[in-house]
Amino acid sequence: MGIDVVSSGEILCAYKAGYDLSKAYFHSNNKTDEDISFAMELGIGYFVVDGFEELYAIEEEAARREMTQNILLRITPGIDPHTYVQVNTGTVDSKFGTAIETGQADEIIQAALELPHINLIGYHCHVGSQVFAEDVFERAAVVMVKYIAHIFRDYGYMAQQLNMGGGFGVRYVDTDPYLEVSKKIADLAEAIHATCEREKIPVPTIIMEPGRSIVADAGMTLYTVGSVKRIPYYKNYVSVDGGMTDNPRYALYGSKYTCYTANRMNEERTLNCNVVGRCCESGDIIQRDVPLPQSTTRGDIIAVCTTGAYNYSMASHYNKIPNPPIVMIAKDGSAKEVVRRQTYEDLISLDVD
């Protein structure tokens, strides 16, 4: 297995964990010169190049180091994945990648093939996140395989790798469909093989990025209730000791979650409420219209399910609120703290007197 990273910070985390960075793919639509140098210094395997400026910056740094750098080019196939607009990355007007439709993808491929310190391995394509629609990956694969064939016929370059990105959806609420990943991979493989056969080209190495589907279900966030505000004939609010600082996903794009009062699981849930955070923002909401027990009160525990992905990496210190710890529970039931709770001293440790 490989990994994908999107910043020097993530590269450092992987490096410190002892990961073989020759199997790492460095994404991001805006890698700084410092990022590029740092990644090469630690032996990053592949840059997933987003545009011309980045391509030339990598060439310059590789030339300075007298080395050849492996890259993939991120190509935008023009596919609508039918997901949140904010995580839709496959359309032509996305900030990510170089579009096929505009002809710019052809241009950047030609440029990459001419650079002496660049080794173009293939293409990367990512259409979005939290994808459930049946044919999204297959449609993207057909576009990309046909494009590989086009580039081979017109420019003589055959891609060795096709990275189809990720985006497998996970069930945050009961109304989300269940995605059978093994069947989805089989359907995608069938579409790729059939299209390669029609186009009369060899099947490239196919890479997928399972993303949140690996760890989302493995995590749950536990909050303590601070207050329950009932406004007759209007709305009820259950306020917790966290919020958009540890989970900004609802504030960003209205992500759905399943919430429970964990210490009252056997009680009927007839209190319709918004579960909200403690930040000074009206948009600091964990979830709207949540059914909880009428008896929910100060000191109760609110469990928000399926938070194993993104929450920790997206957390902030808005309003100087410390981040919570992460506790890992082993198969034998034992528990240990793997990320310690932040202290107030942590929050001011970078401030200069």
What is the spatial distance between Cα 294 and Cα 166, in angstroms, rounded to a whole number? 40
What is the spatial distance between Cα 304 and Cα 287, in angstroms, rounded to a whole number? 9
Yes or no: say if 301 and 223 are a contact pair by the CB < 8 Å rule. Answer: yes
Please report, for residues 46, 277, 284, the alpha-carbon distance to residue 281 in angstroms, rounded to integers and kept in the order given. 40, 9, 5
Task: With CA atoms as reference, report the closest residue to 1 among 216, 309, 179, 214.
Answer: 214
Phi, psi dihedral angles at 127 (to 5 degrees): -100, -15
Q: Are strands 220-231 and 205-209 parallel, antiparallel or unpaired?
A: unpaired
Burial class (CB in 10 A: 0-12, 13-18, 19+), 264: middle
Active site residues: 280
